[in-house]
Amino acid sequence: MRLTDPALHALWYRALVVGATGRARCVVAMLVAVVAISAGCAALSPETGDLRAACADEDSDPATRVVFATDIRPLMDGDAPGIRGCRRCHYGSSSDGEGLLETGLDLETLRALRRGGRRSPPDAIVVPGKPCSSVLVQKLQGTFGGARMPKGGPHWDASALQLVSDWIAEGAEGADDE
């Protein structure tokens, strides 16, 4: 049989075309798999957070006023059951705080908190009346860049997040030393 034989030609043609489309299908399948796997991992990752909720600027409970010193400070100190605080990594008094060292964000007092950190735009750490624009909320929800806070988890549940959001919606008030 010679190479110019029409039957052989047809065979070669089929092998090439089928081979090519087979490869293309395989590449598409692999891409789909990669996208699906990475989406799955993102949803499960404690760093990006699987509890991400849509943000709302409204005060969820206008009848109740959130008081930073008694409602939020204990959560940041890490004193509330089941909630990881920020003390170890972001308090000026903890000598090896990795969050403080990396970003300069000191959460030990309200005055220091309001100064923000190096990674957030100026005056964005807490924007009174606008929880969704506040980096503090975005970091707790995992929607800002970098790790979701508290880094490594466990992350704050919906009711703890709502307290921070409502405090900001109500004007983010509080004395410097709170």
Q: List binders of ligand HEC among 3-62 (CB under 6 A).
A: none
Cα 150 from Cα 140, distance rounded (Å): 7
Does residue 150 interact with ligand HEC by CB under 6 A? Answer: yes
**Smaller CB distance to ligand HEC: residue 73 or 139?**
139
CA 166/CA 16 separation, integer angstroms: 64
Nearer residue to ligand HEC within complex by CB, 23 or 111: 111
Is residue 174 involved in binding ligand HEC (CB under 6 A)?
no
Instruction: Identify the helix (H) or strand (E) that includes residue 22.
Output: helix 6-44
Q: How many other C-beta atoms lie within 10 A of the C-beta of residue 166?
A: 20
CB of 61 to ligand HEC, least distance (A): 21
Choose one: 10-18, 20-28, 36-44, 82-90; the region binding ligand HEC (CB under 6 A): 82-90
d(CA 27, CA 110): 53
Burial class, 130, CB count within 10 angstroms (exposed 0-12 / middle 13-18 / buried 19+): middle
> In this structure, is the dihedral angle defined by the CA atoms of residues 114, 69, 149 and 97, taken in order, positive or negative?
positive
Q: Please identify, using beta-carbon distances, which residue of 30 and 53 lies nearer to ligand HEC.
A: 53
Q: Which residue has its beta carbon closest to ligand HEC?
A: 117
Among all chains, which residue has been given the structure tokens 């395989």? Answer: 26
**Footprint of ligand HEC on 98-117 (CB under 6 A):** 98-99, 102-103, 105, 107, 116-117
Residue at token pair 């409204």: 58
Structure-token pair, residue 112 = 């220091």
Give the whole-angstrom CA distance, residue 136 versus residue 142: 10
Minimal distance, residue 170 CB to ligand HEC, in Å: 18
Q: From the list 66, 110, 135, 169, which residue makes contact with ligand HEC (rule: CB under 6 A)? A: 135
Give yes or no for residue 149 binding ligand HEC (CB under 6 A). yes
Q: Which is nearer to ligand HEC, 2 or 118 (CB)?
A: 118
List residues near ligand HEC by CB under 6 A: 76, 84-86, 88-90, 98-99, 102-103, 105, 107, 116-120, 135-136, 139-140, 146-147, 149-152
